[in-house]
Chains A and B, each alone.
Chain A
Amino acid sequence: EVQLVESGGGLVKPGGSLRLSCAASGFTFSDAWMSWVRQAPGKGLEWVGRIKSKIDGTTTDYAAAVKGRFTISRDDSRNTVFLQMNSLQIEDTGVYYCAVLLSRGYWGQGTLVTVSS
């Protein structure tokens, strides 16, 4: 059974940092391109970024709204992908989902990040 379990969400002040983790199981993690998607309260889905597999160069790409502030990394030995979020802004508030998109179609249940003073 495929599982993606996000953790690390919580309340943080504007300008602060947070590191999200996503633990994967049930598929070959090292082959997978891992994505992060977020959803502000009552709003639609927003693509945050993605990290390719090691064999594809571990390349990362980011949405313009988070580029320069967010960093995605992976640890294939732990089947885990990370989202380091710095300089957080109020508009970064939302549920953050870890996903394996395209041909896999796997989603986690999400973790809530609240940026508030």
Chain B
Amino acid sequence: QTVVTQEPSLTVSPGGTVTLTCASTTGAVTSGHYSNWFQQKPGQAPTSLIYNTINRHSWTPARFSGSLVGGKAALTLSGVQPEDEGEYYCLLYYGGAQLGVFGGGTKLTVL
């Protein structure tokens, strides 16, 4: 069974930079996993931030960036704002976008 792993929690100061990662038990994450990143705040539906590893949606602030780092998918927030606090999920696709698997989520605290 494929498992996608994220840091359970991270804390960052306002204005700081933080990187969230997304690893796969099957091996290195590549562009072929079409990694996606989502933000979810309590009581709300998720919102999409990044698709296909590096691409922002039109509504995604420029301080969010996606990449591959050390065999993992990564989401970097630069110049963190208080409103960035929330839960962040990655989604990886396997078998040429046939099967999707979410990571367990990272709770980001801005303090």
Contact = CB atoms under 8 A, between A and B. Distances in A.
Interface in B74-105: 87, 89, 91, 97-105
B96 to A, nearest CB: 10
A27 interface: no
Contact of B98 (A61, A102, A103, A108): A61
Interface residues of B, number: 25
A101 B97 CA distance: 11
B104 A44 contact: yes
Contact of B102 (A47, A103, A104, A106): A47
Contacts of A50: 100
A101 B40 CA distance: 15
A102 B45 contact: no
A64 B2 CA distance: 11
A35 interface: yes
Nearest to A48: B100
Chain B interface helix/strand/loop/mixed: strand
A107 B45 contact: yes
B48 A101 contact: yes
Given A44-B89, A61-B99, A102-B34, A107 B46 contact: yes
A109 interface: yes
A108 B4 CA distance: 24
Contacts of B47: 105, 107
Q: Name the 7 nearest CB pairs between A and B, nearest first.
A: A105-B48, A47-B100, A44-B105, A45-B102, A105-B57, A107-B45, A61-B98
Given A37-B102, A44-B105, A101-B48, 13 more contacts: A37-B46, A44-B102, A45-B46, A45-B102, A47-B100, A47-B102, A97-B46, A101-B100, A102-B51, A103-B51, A105-B51, A105-B57, A107-B47
Interface of B: 1, 34, 36, 38, 40, 45-48, 51-52, 55, 57, 87, 89, 91, 97-105
